[in-house]
A and B are shown apart, each in its own frame.
Chain A
């Protein structure tokens, strides 16, 4: 038997290079616009980079991080980030799950109902923020008057200027905008559950709650887990609504770490300090990802 003829070198090189030729344009753009700035940004964290100060640019070591350790606004932002993320994700999940269950039953006009309830997802986030800020504004919006009538507000005032309530403004807008995301993802998962499982359960005389508890929920659990974990990162980084609705105020009570980065870079033009905060945020997200991976490993080990 003769060995298979080796193809010419150039042809083998061509075959090897082919997938890279297809992906090169995309990869080059990503490297130039995301990876290079990422590295440059990390270097800014150790330098004094202020756009308004032409003499800045020098190496300052860990000065930014020392300032950060004593920055009260930053500590407030850390706490706010936690509440903003946890409340937004959980409320979105709850309403999204109920909506997915409602849409999973066939009924007349389901297609239209689905398009209407998913519409908020298509509304640009800057408009979502402005729109809800107007709804919360007592001169033009109905919400303060309704909340007052329900006895939830002592007077029809704007919750966005109340330090204790302001964070609920962006959270409400984020929930309104984000319910479709959870509903769509969970609806897709619901529709992949084999229907004979439900039929068998119905024959065995299981009531709807038993069916939900022992068929639907176990099937959904992995999808819910993954969606929540990924969404948590996304919501933590999501700043549009906060910037539009409150700009982090009043008195930094709605400032999150991500919006604090934007405030430092955009309003103060202090790129060095902004990059130092970015590095802390990146580190926190990495720690979160690591924690998730460890948890996952523990669960897999336990199942063995």
Chain B
């Protein structure tokens, strides 16, 4: 009876793993299938011949390396700026009891709840006279604002995990609060900072709605914008599309490995953040 229960448990786990990995497996499979086999062996689990031709073409003869670079710049800049701002604000929320604290937390929470899509039109109109449409800087500004609230909660939870006595002792020894923050608290929070950078990077790397709206030229396109326009233009080049898709997957998976330990903290801090 117990053996049957254990077997059922393992089978159920395997079923979940298969469901989670199958779409990604299929993506990789089509990306290495030669064009002449694409239709004749359409639903075979693995093609009889494989090729890296699609990857070679995408890397050498398409704009995808450019899109990749743009996305990398935007996501890294967003991740570092948002984490820096959130580090300070999260510290204030964690260490000070001040009038208006509840309002600040409430404001941060509300920004996580309301539909960002309703800001698409006004943000476009407000950024356009500033020259921030069709610009990577503009995207970074927008993404920083969208990710700061969630990053604040995350950083606050990391600061909460560090005993107050540490900086109080340093302040008694004559350090200013900022000095104690910089020299004692920040080094201890480094893993938390890395996790926050990872979360924000992943979010910025995935963002599509505002990139579609704000970016209008190929030179400034981030990966989702480039991939979607490629899909609508060359909708039959499945091998190349999926090879590009695999490229988009790589940095996201790397960061996932980095932040995996902090998933629980991240998801509960954001509470509503995907």
Q: Are A117 and B17 touching (Cβ within 8 A)?
A: yes
Whether B184 is near chain A, meaning CB under 8 Å from some CB there, is no
Whether B228 is near chain A, meaning CB under 8 Å from some CB there, is yes
Contact partners of B175 in chain A: CB under 8 A:
none
Contacts A102-B16, A126-B206, A240-B209 given; does A37 touch B113 at CB 8 Å = no
Q: Are A141 and B245 touching (Cβ within 8 A)?
A: no
Whether A243 is near chain B, meaning CB under 8 Å from some CB there, is yes
Looking at B43, B124, B223, B241, the one whose CB has the most chain A CB atoms below 10 A away is B43
Closest-by-CB residue of A relative to B14 is A113
Chain A facing B: main interface SS:
helix
Whether B154 is near chain A, meaning CB under 8 Å from some CB there, is no
Closest-by-CB residue of A relative to B155 is A26
**Number of A interface residues in the complex (CB < 8 A):** 88
Contact partners of B118 in chain A: CB under 8 A:
38, 41, 261, 274-275, 278-279, 281-282
Interface residues on B, range: 35 or more
Whether B166 is near chain A, meaning CB under 8 Å from some CB there, is no
Whether A11 is near chain B, meaning CB under 8 Å from some CB there, is no
Q: Are B89 and A26 touching (Cβ within 8 A)?
A: yes
Complex Cα–Cα for A261 and B9 (A): 44
Q: Are B272 and A44 touching (Cβ within 8 A)?
A: no
Q: Are A19 and B208 touching (Cβ within 8 A)?
A: no
Q: Are A125 and B208 touching (Cβ within 8 A)?
A: yes
Q: Are A271 and B121 touching (Cβ within 8 A)?
A: yes
Contacts A122-B253, A184-B264 given; does A130 touch B231 at CB 8 Å = yes
Q: Are B9 and A105 touching (Cβ within 8 A)?
A: yes
Contact partners of A5 in chain B: CB under 8 A:
none
Q: Are B122 and A266 touching (Cβ within 8 A)?
A: no
Shortest CB-to-CB span from B135 to chain A, Å, is 14
Shortest CB-to-CB span from B261 to chain A, Å, is 10
Render A121-133 as a binary contact track against B, CB cut-off 8 A, 1 for contact. 1111111101110
Contacts A102-B13, A282-B118 given; does A33 touch B264 at CB 8 Å = no
Chain B facing A: main interface SS:
helix
Shortest CB-to-CB span from A43 to chain B, Å, is 9
Q: Are A113 and B208 touching (Cβ within 8 A)?
A: no
Q: Are B115 and A119 touching (Cβ within 8 A)?
A: no
Whether A34 is near chain B, meaning CB under 8 Å from some CB there, is yes
Chain B, range 228-274, C-beta contacts under 8 Å to A: 228, 231, 238, 241-242, 245, 248-249, 252-253, 255-257, 260, 263-264, 267-268, 271-272, 274
Say which one of B48-56, B139-147, B188-196 lies at the interface with A. B139-147
Complex Cα–Cα for A238 and B241 (A): 24
Contact partners of A38 in chain B: CB under 8 A:
114, 118-119, 122
Supply 10 further A-B pairs (C-beta < 8 A) apart from A126-B227, A185-B268: A22-B89, A23-B88, A26-B89, A41-B119, A134-B238, A141-B26, A142-B26, A266-B120, A285-B113, A289-B113
